[in-house]
Amino acid sequence: MGTTGQLSTVPEPKYWHLRTVLLRAIETEFTTGQILPNERELSARFGVARATLRQALDQLELEGRLVRRRGIGTLIAAPRVGVPVNRHEEGWPGTARSQAWRIVDCTTAPATPQLAKTLGVAEGVTVHTVRRVRMVQGQNMATESLHVPAAALPHLPGFRAESDRARSVLRQLERLEVDGESRSVELGVAEAAEAALLERPPGSPVLVMTTQYAAAGRLVAIAVSTYRADTCKLTFGETGLVEVTPVAASSEVRSAS
Amino acid sequence: MGTTGQLSTVPEPKYWHLRTVLLRAIETEFTTGQILPNERELSARFGVARATLRQALDQLELEGRLVRRRGIGTLIAAPRVGVPVNRHEEGWPGTARSQAWRIVDCTTAPATPQLAKTLGVAEGVTVHTVRRVRMVQGQNMATESLHVPAAALPHLPGFRAESDRARSVLRQLERLEVDGESRSVELGVAEAAEAALLERPPGSPVLVMTTQYAAAGRLVAIAVSTYRADTCKLTFGETGLVEVTPVAASSEVRSAS
DNA sequence: GAGTGGTCTAGACCACCGA
DNA sequence: CGGTGGTCTAGACCACTCA
């Protein structure tokens, strides 16, 4: 019905058509880990400039279908890893498989205006910040900055070595009865610091998850987690249902009807 | 010497430095909706090729800071809109402000192999697919394909007009006691069909949310939702906590210490 | 050193928008 | 119409990896 005639639409850009062609090739003729022909050969084979070919590869990389390694080549990416982000499974310190998180550093400093506003505390109030990295399948998948107002942890022992203080903060947080959490997810790019921890170049796409933790009706902590968008699929499972097979684009599912 | 000190780190790429400079300018000298100087002037002003400038703008657009409109110019983007994705708030048909969803079409067809596998049904089983569009603040923010095996809706009335059938499917689904849902979120790009519905060019970044709905321990529906990544921030709120002020990159928060 | 992807250039033409 | 962003080209040089 409402189908806008394909007739009136301008010819598809070359790079988009290329992407589609390459995607089909990836799905039918290549397997995970395999190396594509190099960019100069591909661009010659398709009769386009290298920049145009790269535009197509950029798209496929954003979709998580390709991984490009300097000095090596362009590889078929493995399917994205489903990463659970439930508090009681993996998202909260000390619970279950918490060894997946590695503490990077820990600072205790007055809240910046921005952070104070986000935490709902007065500017300059002391805030503990624990930064850690999440490893999944041997890879750094995410970095997280956990911000906790010192006032929320009344029984924190005195000064210690940085790593000990980090552990103390996490332990104290565990003891609080966290009774609510609110999350948001949006697209971002990795700045220099995160990029280094994630072993990716600056500007790499990431999924930024912001989690607010509440205890006794008050906000006690905020975590800003940065997940690699190329290899991660965040999973919010209440109960373990069937595992999700990638359905690809919904339009593809539909178009098969 | 051969030492790998920070000294030897390669100079930052021009486009990345440009991005940082422009980001600072955006935050300090411009306000939402304002138009940046055009690309040719900016590239001249910074002494780089237009392609290099565009690479910087691409990054900022991916971060949701800029919107580019052909024939108009490059505008400062409004902050991302927090879009609730709770079943009981907005994510489920018929509940509360469901008028935010507009039905596009509805098909009833045998399941493709891929869809059958995802739904956990036999291939070729009849499946209803309702496609709809979610509007927020007057804009199309997401498209969704809701797949429901016909067997899960035993009391569906006979043949009807397409829009009536769509409504029947949604109504029937409401009556089921949905007792669990499992979600996943990953990065994707809009294919032609979604792109048109979202009023964006093909290849635009999107957040793909896949939701499995269970009733009586069985999987009764799967929804594949495609949210505009440029303007959306998905919010998974259990309880209405404080609204999340964008914390920006976690590293920025830290670096202020 | 040979081969790879990453960056950058200078220029061209196109599709779209508003006056 | 003139101005905007979108696409595409042909070429150059660099940083990285591996043999």
Q: Is the CB of A54 under 7 A from strand C?
A: yes
CA distance B16 to B19: 5
CA distance A201 to B12: 11
- Of A220, A235, A217, A209, nearest to A153 (Cα)? A220
Provide, rounded to the nearest whole percent, the portion of chain B with pLDDT above 70.
81
List pLDDT tens digits, range A111-122: 999 899 888 889
Q: What is the pLDDT of residue B255?
A: 40
Q: Is the CB of A80 under 7 A from strand C?
A: no
Q: What is the pLDDT of residue B88?
A: 57
A238 against B208, higher pLDDT: B208
List pLDDT tens digits, range B172-190: 888 887 788 899 999 999 9
Q: A225 — phi, psi (to 5°)?
A: -110, 140
Q: What is the mean pLDDT of residues A63-91?
A: 88
Distance from CA of A183 to the nearest CA of B (A): 5
Q: What is the pLDDT of residue A255?
A: 40
CA distance B161 to B171: 15
Q: What is the pLDDT of residue B3?
A: 34
In terms of DSSP bridges, do strands B218-228 and A126-136 run parallel, antiparallel, or are they unpaired?
unpaired
**Residue B241, pLDDT above cutoff 90:** no
Q: What SS3 class is residue A113?
A: helix
**Residue A200, pLDDT above cutoff 80:** yes
Q: What is the pLDDT of residue A2?
A: 36
Q: What is the pLDDT of residue A254?
A: 40
Worst-scoring range by mean pLDDT, A10-14, B35-39, B242-246?
A: B242-246
| Packed helices B14-29 and B50-62: angle between N→C axes, nearest 10 degrees | 60
Average confidence score pLDDT of chain B: 84
DSSP state at residue A87: I
CA distance B115 to A113: 49
| Closest residue, chain B, to A215 (C-alpha) | B241
Count of Cβ atoms closer than 10 Å to residue B196 Cβ: 18
Nearest to B205 among A62, A191, A203 (CB): A62
Count of Cβ atoms closer than 10 Å to residue B161 Cβ: 9
- Of B163, B165, B134, nearest to B148 (Cα)? B165
DSSP notation for B15-81? HHHHHHHHHHHHHHH--TTPBPPPHHHHHHHHTS-HHHHHHHHHHHHHTTSEEEETTTEEEEPPPPE
Nucleotide whose C1' lies closest to the alpha carbon of residue A16 = D7
Average confidence score pLDDT of chain A: 84
Q: Residue B133 is which amino acid?
A: V
Q: Residue B73 is which amino acid?
A: G
Q: What is the pLDDT of residue B196?
A: 92
Worst-scoring range by mean pLDDT, A52-61, B139-148, B167-176, B246-255?
A: B246-255
Structure confidence at residue A7 as a pLDDT band (50, 70, 90): very low
CA distances from A52 to A17, A43, A150, B54 (A): 11, 8, 53, 15
Best mutation target, A59, A63, A219, A251, to test chain B (most B CBs within 10 A):
A251
Specify the residue for token string 């205006």. A113
CA distance B64 to B51: 20
Q: What is the pLDDT of residue A203?
A: 95
Q: What is the pLDDT of residue A229?
A: 97
- Contact yes or no for B123/B133 (Cβ under 8 A): no
List pLDDT tens digits, range A146-179: 999 998 887 776 666 777 888 888 888 888 877 7
List pLDDT tens digits, range B197-231: 999 999 999 999 999 999 888 899 999 999 999 99
List pLDDT tens digits, range B57-109: 999 999 999 999 999 999 999 999 999 987 755 555 555 555 688 999 999 99
Nearest to A182 among B51, B238, B251 (CB): B238
CA distances from B181 to A121, A236, B88, B147, B184 (A): 34, 9, 11, 14, 10
Distance from CA of B219 to the nearest CA of A (A): 8
Angle, vertex CA B225, rays to CA A16 and CA B74, nearest 5: 50
Chain B residues near residue A145 by CB distance under 8 angstroms = 250-251, 253-254
User: Which two structure tokens, joined as six digits, stand for A216?
Assistant: 């006794």
Distance from CA of B221 to the nearest CA of A (A): 12
HSE-CB of A51 using CA atoms within 13 angstroms: 3
Q: Write down all domains in chain B, each with its CATH number in brackets.
A: 11-76 (1.10.10.10), 81-235 (3.40.1410.10)
Q: What is the pLDDT of residue B153?
A: 83
Chain B residues near residue A120 by CB distance under 8 angstroms = 242
Provide, rounded to the nearest whole percent, the portion of chain B with pLDDT above 90.
60
**Residue A72, pLDDT above cutoff 90:** yes
DSSP notation for B106-122? EEEEEPPHHHHHHHTS-
Provide, rounded to the nearest whole percent, the portion of chain A with pLDDT above 90.
60
Q: What is the pLDDT of residue A194?
A: 92
**Residue B252, pLDDT above cutoff 50:** no
Q: What is the pLDDT of residue A152?
A: 87
Chain A residues near residue B245 by CB distance under 8 angstroms = 114, 117-118
CA gyration radius for chain A? 23
A86 against B72, higher pLDDT: B72
CA distance B54 to A214: 42
In strand C, the nucleotides that come within 7 Å of a protein beta carbon are 3-12, 15-18
Q: What is the pLDDT of residue B216?
A: 84
Can you give the distance from the CA of residue A256 to the C1' of nucleotide D13 in angstroms? 47
Q: What SS3 class is residue B98?
A: helix
Chain B residues near residue A192 by CB distance under 8 angstroms = 251
